[in-house]
């Protein structure tokens, strides 16, 4: 009897153990020696410039709000500077670790992330109407930020182990299961747990990252197109039949009708963008950050940037992000292994998606979903995760065959 296309194929002996293999050597053996290749200088300088500009903008955009809420104009800048210094130190440390360590640790990190996402549903605390954070002493952790990176690492590890089976052109059934179904299961576990936190923006980012990583891994396009359409339908239904997302869509369609309620943030942000003109009103001279723009140092910080630095300043920052992503994709193209190529691609894609979605939100191109702008939005754990990602990208660049 002919085997059905949807029957589960046998797992090749030893591959599952390889996928779940923990680090098998002490950490010091994974560290580059003194004569290790240099990191990508262009990428490093771009990251440092973006993070410096972002910290300055947090001070400018947030001191009025910090004075009003905390009676301390330096509240945001003090905390963010500490995280900036710590993050840069972590980035340099991570960049000294060999890529093989992240490959061996990917499964453990994925399981840790799943555990934290479950834990946040049990003991997490609520902020702004959503239960997404865990407090560990003085630290506040948002596991969904960690999930973006660990998903990339897990998919990269998976395809490094099962690449020949997932791209098997002679056996369509094997390619379908190993190239599409199994990696989508890794994605769906994370997405479902984040969905229970009512975190629509993170669901969108995770879904896009996962599908794009699977697509570039050599998978048949028709399979991904089908599951992409299925996922888009699911997200649309989730948005339309959930009260808080349905309300945001209604406000997005006509914010002027809700100018004193849900449309206030959007309208004030658009006003700030428009009032900046070509060259802006000057650093620190924004008017609308004085409690007109909601969360001026967080998700809406790009509007204050536009008001103070104008069109040319905003374009300059976006070009820096474009350079960072382009350098990341160059590293991915020249990386020596499947794992490092997919990881570099996933990290760069995550950065590009988050920047594009943040700009789309503040310009009212898409409904407000609360997406932060990398290196600019206030937040310690998210900034630290960004530097970890950049450290991994710099580590991959040590082994990539590109001019530094």
Over the stretch 356-376, which tens digit does the pLDDT of each residue have?
A: 999 999 998 888 877 899 999
Mean pLDDT value across the chain: 85
Helix or strand or coil: residue 186? helix
The pLDDT of residue 338 is above 70: yes
Residue that has been written with the tokens 């997919």 in this structure: 342
> How far from chain centre, in Å, is Cα 53?
19
pLDDT of res. 130: 64
Across 72-89, average pLDDT: 92
pTM of the predicted structure, to 2 decimals = 0.90
Residues written for the chain: 404
Cα–Cα distance for residue pair 118/63, rounded to 1 Å:
36
Residues 19, 301: Cα–Cα separation, whole Å: 41
Here the tokens at position 182 are 């199994």
pLDDT confidence band for 381 (50 / 70 / 90): confident
| Contact (Cβ atoms closer than 8 angstroms) between residue 289 and residue 64 | yes
Q: Could you write out the three-class secondary structure of 262-328?
A: CCHHHHHHHHHHHHCCCCCCCCCCCCCCCCCCCCCCCCCHHHHHHHHHHHHHHHHHHHHHHHHHHHH
Q: What is the pLDDT of residue 399?
A: 84
Give the relative orientation of helices 143-166 and 380-399 as an angle to the nearest 10 degrees.
30
Give 402's pLDDT tier (boundaries 50, 70, 90): low
pLDDT at 7: 43
Give dist(CA 346, CA 205) in Å, integer.
11
Residue 227: its pLDDT value, please? 75
- Distance separating alpha carbons of residues 343 and 118, to the nearest angstrom: 25
- Phi and psi, residue 130, nearest 5°: -135, 140
Task: Give pLDDT, residue 2.
Answer: 40
CB distance 274 to 267 below 8 Å = no
Residue 355 clears pLDDT 80, i.e. is over it: yes
Which residues neighbour 58 within 8 Å (Cβ) at sequence distance 6 or greater?
76, 77, 80, 297, 301, 376, 377, 378
Q: Which residues contact 400 (CB under 8 A, 6 or more apart)?
A: 40, 330, 331, 334, 335, 336, 340, 344
From CA 287, how far away is CA 69, in angstroms rounded? 17
**Tokens (6 digits) for 239:** 């948005």
What is the side-by-side order of every strand in the sheet holding 125-127? 125-127, 130-136, 139-141
More confident residue, 56 or 123: 56
Reply yes or no on whether the pLDDT at 237 is more than 80: no
Query: pLDDT of 38-59, one tens digit each?
Result: 788 999 999 999 999 999 999 9
Question: 254-286: per-residue pLDDT in tens?
Answer: 888 877 777 888 888 899 999 888 999 999 888
Cα of first residue to Cα of last residue in the chain, in angstroms, is 57
Please report, rounded to a whole number, the percentage of residues in the chain having pLDDT higher than 70.
88
Q: Compute the chain's Rg from CA coordinates.
A: 22
| Beta-carbon count within 10 A of 211 CB | 20
Provide the 8-state DSSP code for 8: P
């Amino acid at each position: 009897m002919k085997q059905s296309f949807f029957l589960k194929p046998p797992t090749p002996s030893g591959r599952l153990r390889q996928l779940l293999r923990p680090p098998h050597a002490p950490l010091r053996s994974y560290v580059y020696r003194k004569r290790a290749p240099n990191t990508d200088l262009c990428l490093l300088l771009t990251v440092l410039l973006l993070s410096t500009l972002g910290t300055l903008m947090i001070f400018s955009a947030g001191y009025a709000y910090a004075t009003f809420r905390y009676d301390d104009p330096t509240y945001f800048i003090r905390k963010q500077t500490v995280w900036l210094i710590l993050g840069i130190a972590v980035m340099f440390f991570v960049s000294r670790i060999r890529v093989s360590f992240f490959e061996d640790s990917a499964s453990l990190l994925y399981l840790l992330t799943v555990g934290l996402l479950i834990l946040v549903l049990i003991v997490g605390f609520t902020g702004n109407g959503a239960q997404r954070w865990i407090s560990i002493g003085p630290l506040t952790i948002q596991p969904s930020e960690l999930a973006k990176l660990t998903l990339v690492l897990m998919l990269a590890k998976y395809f490094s182990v099962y690449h020949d089976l997932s791209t098997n052109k002679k056996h369509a059934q094997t390619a379908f299961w190993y190239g599409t179904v199994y990696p989508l299961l890794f994605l769906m576990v994370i997405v479902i747990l984040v969905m229970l936190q009512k975190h629509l923006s993170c669901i969108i980012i995770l879904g896009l990252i996962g599908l794009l990583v699977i697509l570039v891994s050599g998978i048949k396009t028709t399979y991904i197109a089908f599951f992409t359409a299925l996922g888009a339908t699911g997200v649309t239904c989730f948005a339309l039949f959930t009260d808080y997302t349905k309300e945001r869509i209604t406000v997005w369609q006509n914010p002027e009708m809700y100018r004193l309620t849900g449309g206030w943030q959007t309208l004030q942000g658009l006003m700030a963008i428009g009032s900046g003109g070509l060259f802006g009103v000057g650093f620190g001279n924004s008017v609308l950050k004085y409690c007109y723009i909601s969360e001026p140092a967080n998700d809406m910080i790009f509007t204050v940037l536009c008001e103070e630095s104008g069109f040319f300043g905003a374009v300059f920052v976006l070009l820096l992000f474009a350079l960072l992503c382009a350098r990341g994709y160059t590293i991915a193209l020249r990386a020596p292994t499947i794992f490092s190529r997919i990881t570099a691609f996933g990290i760069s894609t995550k950065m590009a998606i988050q920047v594009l979605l943040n700009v789309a939100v503040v310009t009212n191109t898409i409904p407000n979903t609360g997406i932060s702008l990398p290196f600019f939005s206030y937040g310690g754990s998210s900034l630290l995760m960004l530097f970890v990602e950049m450290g991994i990208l710099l580590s991959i660049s040590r082994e990539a065959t590109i001019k530094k």
